[in-house]
């Protein structure tokens, strides 16, 4: 950075500091925690020679201007303006504050094959048997996804399962979507579900919530499932060749579904953006319509020669958006048709006063609300007072009457 360049900036705006290039740097904090990095970062007036990249916006940093840097990670730095954004920094000055104590581990080892997890302390969890053939029906109690071929722990006395990855989820962590530290919470009571504020999916299982409201006496509604809570930077998705980052708060069009999204991960190499709902989609799933494992595919938006059809609803598929498909059979399926809106609920539990049942029978029941056959992987089954059995195909149908609470099905009143 030469003197001519600095003088040009100064002439354009005399209120820009020549030391850091930031407006009002005299008011900047000295030591802070940001949600993009595990360690504290400190104000640095000169970063030193090198090719610096901001850890938030991912743009080039001019070393004479300084910024915030990490004393533990010599190559990590952030623009002063980016580090003090209200969606990145919690607003607390930590210059004279002691370092936080090491977080408590989520489980204790009993031996090389058994643990005691904080979410299930009454029983030991044992590494699952590799020969178990019913893994597709077994669901992890944390993420509610099928166990499949992943390494998992199983309770020695009850039907409680955890992927090994989920068992290792930190009890407290920083998340790129929130400026406060968040806490891992487990189920409050059977049948209580939540809606993730970022991917907008209904879910059961573990979640990350913010306890900042206990300190500031202001309500913080931050509540996300562990799928969104586990996303970190850089985020690599097998359907995009470049790493993705949470660089800004701009609303962008998701390159996977074509919908506008307020919470996206962006590519710094091209214009691609990925909404949180699509970023957390299962990469592979099983469905009764095909004997093979289905995987996520991206369509060819420029191809108009071949029209694809969904084998579940028999409707057209949009070649510009992602879909599930089978490479062996050529099957193409809408993502919504494959997953529905209760995919992150656990079959056998009760929701809205009805039991969630896997839709794997010989026939599919009719939904009492939309009058169509239930086509999603699961449906809700309720028995009314006169012993009549009624079915709901989705949360969309069962919660149309918003005056009803979570303890009642729309059609059981």
95 occurs within a structural domain: no
237 occurs within a structural domain: no
Contact 84, 96 (CB under 8 A): no
Pair 392, 354 in one domain: yes
- What does pLDDT average to over the chain? 85
Read off the pLDDT of residues 84-116 as tens digits, 9 standing for 90 and up.
999 999 999 999 888 887 788 999 999 989 999
List the domain range (segments joined by +) for residue 269: 244-279
Burial class of residue 325 (count of CB atoms within 10 Å of its CB; 0-12, 13-18, 19+): buried
| DSSP letters for 30-56 | SEE-BTT-SS-EEEES---SS-EEBTT
Residue 130's pLDDT band (boundaries 50, 70, 90)?
low
With 50 as the cut, is the pLDDT of residue 376 above it? yes
Residue 161's pLDDT band (boundaries 50, 70, 90)?
very high
Read off the pLDDT of residues 306-321 as tens digits, 9 standing for 90 and up.
678 898 998 988 888 9
Residue 371's pLDDT band (boundaries 50, 70, 90)?
very high
Pair 321, 390 in one domain: no
Check residue 131 and give its pLDDT: 57
Element (H, E) at 339: helix 335-339
Mean predicted confidence (pLDDT) in 150-158: 91
96 occurs within a structural domain: no
Beta strands 378-383 and 252-253 are unpaired
Pair 195, 224 in one domain: yes
Check residue 360 and give its pLDDT: 87
Higher pLDDT, 114 or 49: 114
| DSSP letters for 274-330 | EEHHHHTS-SEEEETTEEEEEEEEE--TT--S---B-TTT--B--TTSEEEE-TTT-
With 90 as the cut, is the pLDDT of residue 227 above it? yes
Contact 395, 377 (CB under 8 A): no
Check residue 9 and give its pLDDT: 44
- Identify the CATH number of the domain in which residue 378 sits: 2.30.170
Strand partners, 126: 114, 154
With 90 as the cut, is the pLDDT of residue 219 above it? no
235 occurs within a structural domain: no
With 90 as the cut, is the pLDDT of residue 18 above it? no
**Distant-in-sequence contacts of 368-375, Cβ < 8 A, 24+ apart:** 368/392, 368/411, 369/393, 369/397, 369/398, 369/400, 369/410, 369/411, 370/397, 375/312, 375/313, 375/337
Report how far residue 413's alpha carbon sits from residue 398's, in angstroms, rounded to the nearest whole number. 12
Check residue 190 and give its pLDDT: 72
Check residue 413 and give its pLDDT: 28
Rg (CA), the chain: 25
Half-sphere exposure of 128 (CA within 13 A, CB side): 24
Check residue 133 and give its pLDDT: 53
Pair 330, 363 in one domain: no
With 70 as the cut, is the pLDDT of residue 403 above it? no
267 occurs within a structural domain: yes
354 occurs within a structural domain: yes
Check residue 132 and give its pLDDT: 57
Read off the pLDDT of residues 232-278 as tens digits, 9 standing for 90 and up.
999 999 999 999 999 988 899 999 999 999 999 999 999 999 999 99
Check residue 17 and give its pLDDT: 56
With 90 as the cut, is the pLDDT of residue 405 above it? no
Mean predicted confidence (pLDDT) in 140-161: 91
Taking residue 352's Cβ as centre, other Cβ atoms within 10 Å add up to 22
90 occurs within a structural domain: no
Contact 290, 326 (CB under 8 A): yes
- Identify the CATH number of the domain in which residue 156 sits: 3.30.60
Q: Which of 148, 167, 186 is the last residue of a domain?
A: 167
Pair 35, 53 in one domain: yes
Of 42-56, 291-305, 364-378, the one with minimum mean pLDDT is 291-305
Report how far residue 105's alpha carbon sits from residue 88's, in angstroms, rounded to the nearest whole number. 25
Write the CB contacts of 398 (distance below 8 Å, at least 6 apart in sequence).
352, 354, 369, 380, 392, 409, 410, 411
Pair 300, 249 in one domain: no
Check residue 224 and give its pLDDT: 93
Higher pLDDT, 24 or 127: 127
Evaluated on CA atoms 185, 190, 194, 199, the torsion sign reads: positive
Residues 380-411 as b/e (b if ≥16 CB within 10 A, e otherwise) read bbbeeeeeeebbbbbbebbbeeeebeeebbbb
SS3 for 154?
strand
SS3 for 202?
strand
With 50 as the cut, is the pLDDT of residue 1 above it? no
Eight-class DSSP state of 366? B
With 80 as the cut, is the pLDDT of residue 52 above it? yes
Mean predicted confidence (pLDDT) in 354-374: 91
Contact 367, 342 (CB under 8 A): no
Higher pLDDT, 176 or 13: 176
Pair 14, 41 in one domain: yes
Pair 152, 187 in one domain: no
Eight-class DSSP state of 101? P
362 occurs within a structural domain: yes
Q: How many domains does the chain have?
A: 6
Pair 373, 395 in one domain: yes
Pair 122, 190 in one domain: no
């Amino acid at each position: 950075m030469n003197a001519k360049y600095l003088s040009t900036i100064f002439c354009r705006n005399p209120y820009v500091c020549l030391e850091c290039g930031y407006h009002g740097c005299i008011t900047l904090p000295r030591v802070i925690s940001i949600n993009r990095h595990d360690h504290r970062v400190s104000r640095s007036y000169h970063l030193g020679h090198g090719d610096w990249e901001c850890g938030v916006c991912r743009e080039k940093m001019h070393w004479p201007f300084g910024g915030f840097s990490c004393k533990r990670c010599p190559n990590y730095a952030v623009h002063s303006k980016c580090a003090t954004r209200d969606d990145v920094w919690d607003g607390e000055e930590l210059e004279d504050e002691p370092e936080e104590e090491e977080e408590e581990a989520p489980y204790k080892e009993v031996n090389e094959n058994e643990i005691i997890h904080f979410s299930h302390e009454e029983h030991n969890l044992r590494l699952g048997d590799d020969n178990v053939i019913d893994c597709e029906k077994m669901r992890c109690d944390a993420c509610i996804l099928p166990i499949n071929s992943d390494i998992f722990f199983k309770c020695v006395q009850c039907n409680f399962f955890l992927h090994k990855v989920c068992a290792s989820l930190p009890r407290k962590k920083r998340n790129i979507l929130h400026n406060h530290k968040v806490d891992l919470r487990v189920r409050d009571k059977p049948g209580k579900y939540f809606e993730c504020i970022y991917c907008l999916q209904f879910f059961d299982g573990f979640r990350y919530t913010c306890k900042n409201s206990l300190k500031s006496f202001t309500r913080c509604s931050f509540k996300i499932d562990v799928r969104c809570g586990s996303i970190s930077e850089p985020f690599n998705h097998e359907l995009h060749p470049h790493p993705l980052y949470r660089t800004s708060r701009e609303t962008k069009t998701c390159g996977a579904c074509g919908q506008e999204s307020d919470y996206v991960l962006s590519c710094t190499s091209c214009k691609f953006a990925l909404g949180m709902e699509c970023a957390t989609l299962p990469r592979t799933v099983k469905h009764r319509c095909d004997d093979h494992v289905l995987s996520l595919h991206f369509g060819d938006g420029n191809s108009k020669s071949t029209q694809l059809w969904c084998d579940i609803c028999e409707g057209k598929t949009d070649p510009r958006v992602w879909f599930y498909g089978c490479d062996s059979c050529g099957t193409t399926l809408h993502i919504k048709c494959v997953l529905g809106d209760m995919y992150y609920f656990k079959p056998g539990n009760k929701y809205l006063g009805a039991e969630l049942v896997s839709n794997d029978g010989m026939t599919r029941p009719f939904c009492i609300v939309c009058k169509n056959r239930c086509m999603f992987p699961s449906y809700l089954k309720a028995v009314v007072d006169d012993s009549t059995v009624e079915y709901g195909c989705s949360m969309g149908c069962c919660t149309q009457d918003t005056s009803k609470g979570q303890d009642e099905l729309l059609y059981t009143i």
